Structure 1
Amino acid sequence: MNPFWVDFLKGMLKPLAATAVVLMAVVLSYFQNLGLEREMLYSIARAFLQLSVIGFVLQFIFTQKNIVWIVAAYLFMVSIAGYTAGQRAKHVPNGKYVAGLSILVGTSITMLVLVMLHVFPFTPRYIIPVAGMMVGNAMTVTGVTMKRLRDDVKIQKSLVETALALGATPRQATVQQVKRALILALSPVLDNAKTVGLISLPGAMTGLIMGGASPLEAIQLQIVVMNMLIGAATVSSIASTYLCWPTFFTKSFQLETKVFAED
């Protein structure tokens, strides 16, 4: 057998052994009647396949110097993230497009600032992993923001309609709901930044230290990562609220009945 495949199969022994904890979760789900057993097995199988494939894809992209590969990989990640976040906010009209555009705006602006300040060189080896972290984080925040905003407006529909009847604009009528949605979505990101290193050991910093890098270099990188995650998440979540407004209201500044119908 080819030495490459021998090493590959040997390296997969530990990941396969680690699926024991997933089986434990499946058993617990079964006895608790959660109905998540199939989804758990599907999720771990999908993750196993995706990571196996993407490792070779990244190795190929990292060796390329053409900017097209960077842009293509970035847009692919944004598309998947937009679809996933839109699924969470399924009652928001055109939710997948709203989420995708919000994530694109938030992460691209953050990335542009970092590149212009020479924090990262514009090469696939740096940009793609950094973009992946930002897009993944922005995806979670954007999905929560959109879902919470729609749910809050629905719950307080009478208050919003009263404000509109008194002459308020859609923005003015929903300002409190927007604030609550943003605070709820961004709180986990901020809590993570407050407790990083005390409760959770960040992967980027730990990986660099385990790889032989100096602690100072690892700390500097992790600080940059935390800063960019907060920046991208904030811009993406705020952008999603602005993009949601046109779908929540009619042209005559009335709540769109279909959006807030019973779930």
Structure 2
Amino acid sequence: MTYLSMSLAAAFVLIALMLSTWQKLGMGKDIVIGTVRCTVQLLAIGYVLQFVFHSNHFGFIGALLLMMISVASWNASRRGARLKGIYWLIFASLSVTEIVTMGLMILLGLVTPIPQYLIPMSGMIIGASMIVCSLFITQMNQETASSRGEIEALLSLGATRRQAIQDVMKRSIKASMIPTFDTMKTIGLVQLPGMMTGMIIAGASPIEAVRYQILIMLIFSSAAAISAVMISLLSYRLWFTKDSMLRAEQVN
């Protein structure tokens, strides 16, 4: 695709802008900012990836993965802005998920440890895990608010913080994992995922593209479970004070 073709694709954004103006949605600014940021960020990362791929240096690969995890952690942590230290807990959860899943793939010989495989696959894993962590925090806030009386009753009866919030944690973990497994149930019937589509457009055999997509989806299932359980175990204490009282400001 040439830069001219990419510029002509701006017509699709104009459709969104016209519909927003017509319906008075007030989203014009968001659409423009989102379009500009998307274009600039993707072009920038394209040049960065080209440099990293050509250098084939693990130091650059590590730095890029660290940046991806940091940005993903910051984005997910906005769901729990009042939870002190949530950023670092999400960072730890995403890091463990990345190390376990990617390490297992390399150990089993499923991928070759070169930038062309490590970075794109890591990006998909980190992105999927970020969504899981974000959904978990959102659900925990809602569940804690709706179950406030139950949690406080358990605390008054001598339950520990973990015991009092255990059921809320379980429901939040399940809710954060549902989108991943719902996608797995309908993939290939409702949608053709991006990686598979990209490989086919690039000229790869559809069967080869499907094999890679199956690998990614199976990894997503593991990544969703690891990140959801990790963030739950690391963060549930943040919904309580040091005196094991439920934080009122977190559940309103």
Normalising by the residue count of structure 1, what TM-score does the alignment of the two structures yield?
0.89
- Contact conserved, 1:92 with 1:150, CA < 8 A, in 2? no
Q: Structure 2 matches for 1:67-216, cutoff 5 A?
A: 67-216=58-207
Q: Which residues of structure 1 form unaligned runs of 5+? A: 1-9
- Contact conserved, 1:86 with 1:99, CA < 8 A, in 2? yes
Q: Which residue of 2 aligns with 1:6?
A: none
Q: Which residue of 1 aligns with 2:29?
A: 38
- Contact conserved, 1:82 with 1:100, CA < 8 A, in 2? yes
The worse-fitting range, judged by mean Cα deviation, of 13-22 and 188-197 is 13-22
**CA distance 1:183–1:31, shift in 2 (3 Å):** farther
- SS for the counterpart of 1:63 is helix
Q: How far 1:27 sits from its partner (Å)?
A: 2.8
- Contact conserved, 1:87 with 1:95, CA < 8 A, in 2? no
Cα distance in 2 for residues equivalent to 1:48 and 1:230: 30
Cα distance in 2 for residues equivalent to 1:92 and 1:30: 37
Which residue identity is paired with 1:209? I
- Contact conserved, 1:115 with 1:122, CA < 8 A, in 2? yes
Q: Which residues of structure 2 form unaligned runs of 5+? A: none
Q: How far 1:249 sits from its partner (Å)?
A: 1.7
Cα distance in 2 for residues equivalent to 1:23 and 1:141: 32
State the number of aligned residues. 252
Which residue identity is paired with 1:259? Q
- Contact conserved, 1:64 with 1:124, CA < 8 A, in 2? no
**Deviations 1:107-146 (Å, cap 9, x if unpaired)?**
2211111111111121111100000011111111111111
- Contact conserved, 1:145 with 1:181, CA < 8 A, in 2? yes
Cα distance in 1 for residues equivalent to 2:31 and 2:90: 25
Q: How far 1:16 sits from its partner (Å)?
A: 2.2
Which residue identity is paired with 1:203? G
- Contact conserved, 1:250 with 1:256, CA < 8 A, in 2? yes
Which residue identity is paired with 2:204? A
Q: How far 1:20 sits from its partner (Å)?
A: 2.0
Normalising by the residue count of structure 2, what TM-score does the alignment of the two structures yield?
0.93
Q: How far 1:19 sits from its partner (Å)?
A: 2.2
| 1:62 pairs with 2:81 | no
Cα distance in 1 for residues equivalent to 2:82 and 2:16: 30
Q: How far 1:212 sits from its partner (Å)?
A: 2.8
Identity %: 33
- Contact conserved, 1:205 with 1:222, CA < 8 A, in 2? yes
Cα distance in 1 for residues equivalent to 2:6 and 2:83: 38
Cα distance in 2 for residues equivalent to 1:13 and 1:255: 57
Cα distance in 1 for residues equivalent to 2:149 and 2:184: 37
Cα distance in 2 for residues equivalent to 1:50 and 1:173: 44
Q: How far 1:179 sits from its partner (Å)?
A: 2.0
